[in-house]
Structure 1
Amino acid sequence: MLVVERVVADEFVTTQQRTPLYDALVSYAKKDITPFDVPGHKRGIDDHPLNDTLGEMTLRMDANSMQELDLLSHPESVIKEAQRLAAQAFDADEAYFLVNGTTVGILAMILATCKQNDTILVPRNCHKSVMNGILLSGAKPVFIQPEIDEKFGIAHGISVDSAKKALVENPHAKAILVTYPTYFGAMNGLKKICELAHAQNTIVLVDSAHGAHLTVLPEALDAIKAGADLVVLSMHKTGGSLTQSSLLLQKTTLIPSNHMQKVINMLQTTSASYLLMSSLDVARKELALFGRERFEALKQVVMRAIEILETNSRYEVLKSDYVNKKFKQGYDWTKLVIRVNDLGLTGFEVYTLLKKHYGIQAELAEGYVVMCVISYKDSEQSLTKLVHALKDIEQRFAKQQPIHLPNVLNEKMNELAMTPQQASQKLHETINIYEAIGRISADSIMIYPPGIPLVIPGEVISPRVLQVYDFYSRNIGNVLVETQEKHQILVLKGDR
């Protein structure tokens, strides 16, 4: 048995060393070709300004679809082979390259599985793209409240019990969408949720935008191995590819692969970036061959950094023991969620101090926490710099009393008056957002990052929504409204 496993492992390593798309693209870029096709920069000739910053090879690799480079919408050669290698690396049946980010993958998953009036079960703290997928499909969302962490002021994943309750109450639900891991690293009992869903023929869709690396974390269970049918990974977030490049993984016979490809083609550009696609090819190789070893070594560095940070300080870092004990969920240690409110500072203030005084760019801030994302490219040096900066912030800027904020997050679900699609198709009017309580929204109010809406089309705007909106508007200003007019929102005309 051990001999067989060794042979399989050796074959995996040998296969995963290949980067067919990247190699073909580099080969093309090095050829002496006079271009009479697009793109219009013509391989960067004639001293193109971008040559000085991006380099000549970058523009030469920014190519158009052609025979030797294959076609993303109908792959037959090097792209097909690169996608096959990605499927093998992630233990999926199919892998699809995405150049419009994970957003297009989420839209594709929903549109491939849900039709008009189909029921889809979704966490209320899901990404805005999920809401847009529901709007486009005409599906009826049934929201599941996530687990609320009042101490850290954040939401974790939906519990197994709440997922089970939603499935029992909606036995004909077409799909259930799970965020795994959450933006803050919580990993619920996805395997059990998959078993419960499949028992009633409900398809499991997983937004794993922040979990591309889970497949190489020894202590983690990635979404495909947990039993999900369709999974989207933001390879650019934690897998090392270029921004906007993602993967959609399929491991189910419930959805024909040709149907999945058709839906993706409807949503995705026909002018796919070869820079993005080739970066997926390279990142997949790096993650498959070296990811496990690098993350194993890095974990010890991270744990030591957390220990130093918390020693004789008022900081508290979110940890797996806490998440498991309090919420019965796992935790991804590469999300460094640091609670700072005991310093008398908000996460927004610490986020700004890190950037302004120490040259450190954190991932995001919330009322009580600041979060830093760890990847296999981090090191003892980068983590030491972060810890020293945080220690210095405590010495220089901390106040005597901790702060407790009433509007850190919206812990209540809004009333859904109609489906998002129904709301989008009715007559609208623009009003002042502070006069919108009780009105049915035709708009989305979104906190970005992480891109989770406070209200979506079809929901009733509650006093709580306005309180949280006002808090974020005043503290950090990263509140996005579709009207793009300050303090204005679209509501249904004549809804009261």
Structure 2
Amino acid sequence: MNSIQEQLRMSELPKDQEKMPLFDALVHYANRNTIPFDVPGHKMGAQASPLKNILGEMTMKMDVNSMKELDLLSHPQSVIKEAQQLAADAFGADHAYFLVNGTTSGILAMILATCKPDDVLIVPRNCHKSVMNGLILSGAKPVFIEPEVDVHFGISHGISVKNVIKTLSAYPEAKAILVTYPTYFGSMNELRTICKLAHDRNIAVIVDSAHGAHLPFMPELIDPITAGADIVTMSMHKTGGSLTQSSILLLNEGRISAKTMQKTLNMIQTTSANYLLMSSLDVARHELALYGYERYQALKPLVEKTIYEIEEHTCFEVLKKDFVRKHNMQSYDWTKLVIRVNDSGLTGFEVYTLLKEKYKIQMELAEGYVVMAVITTADDENSLKKLVWALREIERLYNRKTPIYSTSVTPTHANILLLSPREAHYAEHELMPIDRALGKISADLLMIYPPGIPLVIPGELISEDVIQQYHYYSQTFGNVLTESALEHHITVVKE
């Protein structure tokens, strides 16, 4: 199936993409002045409340329950079915499924649909925490591939083709390989090659594209469906313009059937799907399909100008495609503005805090050496100019002149996996201070959020690197998420 990107390159208007069947049906129902004796209990905002005062009457009227004229997400027959098919057409897939619990639910579904207990799943070690939960639920055995480490920027990129070949050769029995594409920081490996390598061995390719909903509408980049992936989950709310928590799962049939995919999703998604979220997916698809390509074409020169102005007047450095291609042999999504700040003597955490508290600029995240801004077509010259001005002033006022480097930013030693995440999850546990946990098997998941990449997962050996990283992030940013209620404690497998 041709993607919207291909159709737009041929100057053809995508068929039927101007329709918004679910959104229009929901608006029509909200305007009917129905007397509700069903749930939800706010009865279309019948009572005055702070929520209604702020969100507005129409928002409350559109927050309704499943019914025949609005269709049912678990068994779509009418407007949801049509809206999902329009999304499938827009993204070049055989099928599309609306998700109301974010890409997390899609990742769980992809793993459960492809792997049974004890099946081998090949996974990048810098994957999102939801992948680890999918391993626990499915009972699949993970084989981790270490990502390409960028010591200069202090971040990780995607897994290399070389390491994929090595792993596929060592584990020919693998049922699936999961690829993060693009990574949180915007790098994109040779996914087309990885898909061919896997498919030649009858191994499914499932893709976490949480940060790649916009890729089919970018003039020069390859999206995961075009690259040949079997299942893709993308967070439309992150870069596609829908409401937070709404995502789309795309399926190309062959290795996984549409029936299996729907059945799996029905196990993990709510039966009370939120219509505001689903209708926002319908609208976001409409906007991307009709206007995305031209909007990203118009946005690119603004981003290029922003990068030039940041680097021209500060000691900061922006990650660019030439750097990623040269050092990691991967392509790059230019809508991720990764700014290296540590040559100023400031950590990314400090610059992030200054931007927020002094200039009211909310960045996506901070790391030891970098801050990152996510750019979408909702940005304009004015917002980008404010970011440039703030960065220039921070560099001028707070520059300490001495660059910062830390081995905790980019550790080079992989954790040793001694138990599967499922085995560690169901083992007998004990709680202890993390400083006393050296050499223990973790039953906990320590995670930096954002981006949601674990320092250690259930089943891995707790090393000195893990403890040092934990303290580094706790002291510099205080945003290490742990499942323990006690600060600086971790749950381990009891010996």
Q: Provide the rounded CA distance (Å) in 2 between the counterparts of 1:198 and 1:483.
A: 41
Residue 359 of structure 1 aligns with which residue? 360
Q: Secondary structure of the equivalent of 1:485?
A: coil
**Where does the alignment leave 5 or more consecutive residues of structure 1 unmatched?**
none
Change (3 A) 1:64 1:337: same
1:196 matched to 2:204? The reply is no
Residue 126 of structure 2 aligns with which residue? 125
- CA shift at 1:48, angstroms? 2.6
Q: Secondary structure of the equivalent of 1:42?
A: coil
Q: Provide the rounded CA distance (Å) in 2 between the counterparts of 1:410 and 1:246.
A: 32
Residue 283 of structure 2 aligns with which residue? 282
Q: Secondary structure of the equivalent of 2:302?
A: helix
1:111-150 maps to which residues of 2 (within 5 A)? 111-150=112-151
The code of the aligned residue for 2:354 comes to L
Q: Secondary structure of the equivalent of 2:250?
A: strand
Question: Conserved in 1, the CA contact under 8 Å of 2:148 and 2:157?
Answer: yes
Q: Provide the rounded CA distance (Å) in 2 between the counterparts of 1:413 and 1:121.
A: 15
Q: Provide the rounded CA distance (Å) in 2 between the counterparts of 1:443 and 1:260.
A: 30
Q: Provide the rounded CA distance (Å) in 2 between the counterparts of 1:455 and 1:381.
A: 41
Q: Secondary structure of the equivalent of 1:120?
A: strand
Q: Aligned residues, how many?
A: 490
1:339 matched to 2:340? The reply is yes
The code of the aligned residue for 2:64 comes to A
Q: Provide the rounded CA distance (Å) in 1 between the counterparts of 2:7 and 2:102.
A: 36
Question: Conserved in 1, the CA contact under 8 Å of 2:123 and 2:179?
Answer: yes
Q: Provide the rounded CA distance (Å) in 2 between the counterparts of 1:71 and 1:484.
A: 38
Residue 40 of structure 2 aligns with which residue? 39
Q: Provide the rounded CA distance (Å) in 1 between the counterparts of 2:13 and 2:414.
A: 46
- CA shift at 1:14, angstroms? 4.2
- Deviations 1:88-107 (Å, cap 9, x if unpaired)? 00000000000000000000
- CA shift at 1:413, angstroms? 1.3
- Deviations 1:228-260 (Å, cap 9, x if unpaired)? 000000000000000000000001311111111
Greater shift, 470-479 or 308-317, is seen at 308-317
Q: Provide the rounded CA distance (Å) in 1 between the counterparts of 2:203 and 2:385.
A: 46
The code of the aligned residue for 2:325 comes to N
- CA shift at 1:485, angstroms? 2.0
Residue 223 of structure 1 aligns with which residue? 224
Q: Provide the rounded CA distance (Å) in 2 between the counterparts of 1:450 and 1:120.
A: 22
- Deviations 1:147-192 (Å, cap 9, x if unpaired)? 0000000000000101111111111100000000000000000000
1:37-436 maps to which residues of 2 (within 5 A)? 37-436=38-437
Q: Provide the rounded CA distance (Å) in 1 between the counterparts of 2:283 and 2:494.
A: 51
Q: Provide the rounded CA distance (Å) in 2 between the counterparts of 1:249 and 1:12.
A: 22
Q: Provide the rounded CA distance (Å) in 2 between the counterparts of 1:406 and 1:62.
A: 49
Q: Provide the rounded CA distance (Å) in 1 between the counterparts of 2:488 and 2:119.
A: 34
Question: Conserved in 1, the CA contact under 8 Å of 2:313 and 2:392?
Answer: no
Greater shift, 7-16 or 31-40, is seen at 7-16
Q: Provide the rounded CA distance (Å) in 1 between the counterparts of 2:9 and 2:357.
A: 50
Q: Secondary structure of the equivalent of 1:16?
A: coil
- CA shift at 1:6, angstroms? 8.0
**Where does the alignment leave 5 or more consecutive residues of structure 2 unmatched?**
1-5
Q: Secondary structure of the equivalent of 1:26?
A: helix
Q: Secondary structure of the equivalent of 1:44?
A: coil
Change (3 A) 1:6 1:186: closer
The code of the aligned residue for 2:43 comes to K
Q: Provide the rounded CA distance (Å) in 2 between the counterparts of 1:380 and 1:370.
A: 20
Residue 27 of structure 2 aligns with which residue? 26
What percentage of residue pairs aligned between the two structures are identical? 62
- CA shift at 1:310, angstroms? 0.5
Q: Provide the rounded CA distance (Å) in 1 between the counterparts of 2:167 and 2:53.
A: 56
Q: Secondary structure of the equivalent of 1:110?
A: helix
Question: Conserved in 2, the CA contact under 8 Å of 1:128 and 1:451?
Answer: yes
Question: Conserved in 2, the CA contact under 8 Å of 1:157 and 1:187?
Answer: yes
Q: Secondary structure of the equivalent of 2:16?
A: helix
Q: Secondary structure of the equivalent of 1:131?
A: helix
Change (3 A) 1:10 1:407: closer
Question: Conserved in 2, the CA contact under 8 Å of 1:410 and 1:454?
Answer: no
Q: Secondary structure of the equivalent of 1:413?
A: coil
Q: Provide the rounded CA distance (Å) in 2 between the counterparts of 1:6 and 1:188.
A: 25
Question: Conserved in 1, the CA contact under 8 Å of 2:7 and 2:14?
Answer: no
- Deviations 1:191-245 (Å, cap 9, x if unpaired)? 0000000000000000000000000001100000000000000000000000000
- CA shift at 1:45, angstroms? 1.1
The code of the aligned residue for 2:258 comes to S
The code of the aligned residue for 1:355 comes to K
Question: Conserved in 2, the CA contact under 8 Å of 1:41 and 1:48?
Answer: no
Greater shift, 347-356 or 45-54, is seen at 45-54
Change (3 A) 1:347 1:8: closer
Change (3 A) 1:7 1:444: closer
The code of the aligned residue for 1:186 comes to S
- Deviations 1:327-365 (Å, cap 9, x if unpaired)? 000000000000000111000000000011111000000
Q: Provide the rounded CA distance (Å) in 1 between the counterparts of 2:7 and 2:279.
A: 29
Question: Conserved in 2, the CA contact under 8 Å of 1:37 and 1:64?
Answer: yes
- CA shift at 1:405, angstroms? 1.5
The code of the aligned residue for 1:324 comes to R
Normalising by structure 1, we get a TM-score of 0.97
1:471-490 maps to which residues of 2 (within 5 A)? 471-490=472-491
Q: Provide the rounded CA distance (Å) in 2 between the counterparts of 1:329 and 1:76.
A: 42
Q: Provide the rounded CA distance (Å) in 1 between the counterparts of 2:51 and 2:107.
A: 33
Q: Provide the rounded CA distance (Å) in 2 between the counterparts of 1:152 and 1:485.
A: 33
- CA shift at 1:410, angstroms? 3.2
The code of the aligned residue for 2:269 comes to Q
RMSD: 1.3
Normalising by structure 2, we get a TM-score of 0.97
Question: Conserved in 1, the CA contact under 8 Å of 2:17 and 2:286?
Answer: yes
Q: Provide the rounded CA distance (Å) in 2 between the counterparts of 1:6 and 1:317.
A: 33
- CA shift at 1:7, angstroms? 11
Q: Secondary structure of the equivalent of 2:462?
A: coil
Q: Provide the rounded CA distance (Å) in 1 between the counterparts of 2:462 and 2:9.
A: 56
The code of the aligned residue for 2:263 comes to K
- Deviations 1:62-112 (Å, cap 9, x if unpaired)? 010001000000000000000000000000000000000000000000000
